[in-house]
Each structure stands twice: as C-alpha cells, then as structure tokens.
C-alpha cells in the first residue's frame, strides 16, 4: 500500500546539494531517509526548515509530494518527475563518469 505525504526539500547552503528534512531537525541527502508528514503537519516541517535557513544550513526550502510505503511509513520517491530527478541526479551520464 502506498500513500502520498509531504516532505521538505532544499539546497544546502555551503555546497548546494539537494537535501531533505529528516528526524531530529537533521537534513539528509537521501529522499528515503526524509521525514514525511500529512498536510496539516507539513506546516510544522516548514517552520523547522525556516529555522535552518536562518541558521545558514539550507536555502529555498519548499514542500513536495512523496509516495510513502504505508507499512514502513518510509518515503519511496517524489511524485513529480522534476523532484525524482532532483532526488537521483541527472538521468544522463556526466562525461567524466563514462
């Protein structure tokens, strides 16, 4: 069973990396380790995120929809295609990696 919840994503200030808000006000690079909430609690996540902006950890946080596995209550992947690419990186090989 899957359901859709919300998460906060942003870019890390010092290196620009894509991050997700996780438990204990932590920020993770891995979407599956992020904290998902229903729409009502999403506001609280954004409040936490704004504090992180204030503390120079991240920039430009926003909410995204994610598919969550009901049994484990873990995020599986973002709903929007754009966010899937942000989560996994470019879909093409960078030349130096070939």
Partner 1 sequence: MYQYDQTDHTLTRERVTEYRDQVSRRLDGNISEDDFRPLRLKNGLYMQLHAYMLRVGIPYGMMSSDQLRMLAYIGRKYDKGYGHFTTRQNLQYNWPTLEDTPDILENLASVEMNAIQTSGNVNRNVTSDPLAGVAPDELEDPRPYAEIIRQFLTLHPEFSWLPRKFKVAITGAEDDRAAINVHDIGLKLLKNEAGETGFRVLVGGGLGRSPFIGKVIREFLPKDDLIRYIQAILRVYNMEGRRDNMFKARIKILVHELGIEKFASLVEEEFQASEEDVLFLGQAEEDRIKAFFAAPDYADLSDDSPEVIEMSSGNEAFAQWLERNVLAHKQAGYSIVNLSLKPLGGVPGDITSDQMDAVAGLADTFSFGQIRATHRQNLVLADVAKKDLPSLWQELVDLNLATPNLDRISDIICCPGMDYCSLATARSIPIAKRLSERFADLDTLLNIGEIRLNISGCINACGHHHVGHIGILGVEKNGEEFYQITLGGSSSEDADIGQIIGPAFSSEDIIDAVEKLVGIYISNREDDERFLDTYRRLGKAVFKEALYDAA
Complex with partner 1: residue 15 or 40, whichever CB lies closer: 15
Q: Which residues of the chain form contacts with partner 1 (CB under 8 A)?
A: 11, 13-18, 53-56, 59-60, 79-82, 85-86, 89-92, 94-97
- Would you say 22 or 79 has its CB closer to partner 1? 79
CA gap 34, 97 in Å, rounded:
28
- CA dist., res. 27 & res. 39, Å (int): 20
- Residue indicated by tokens 């946080």: 61
Choose between 30 and 56: whose C-beta lies nearer to partner 1.
Answer: 56
């Amino acid at each position: 069973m899957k359901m859709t919840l919300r998460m906060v994503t942003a870019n890390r200030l010092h290196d620009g990396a894509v991050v997700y808000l996780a438990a204990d006000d932590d920020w993770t690079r891995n979407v599956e380790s992020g904290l998902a909430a229903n729409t009502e609690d999403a506001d609280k996540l954004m409040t936490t995120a704004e504090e992180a902006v204030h503390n120079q950890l991240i920039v430009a946080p926003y909410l995204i929809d994610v598919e969550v596995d009901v049994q484990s209550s873990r995020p599986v992947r973002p709903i929007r295609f754009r966010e899937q690419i942000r989560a996994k990186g470019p879909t093409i090989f960078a030349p130096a990696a070939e």
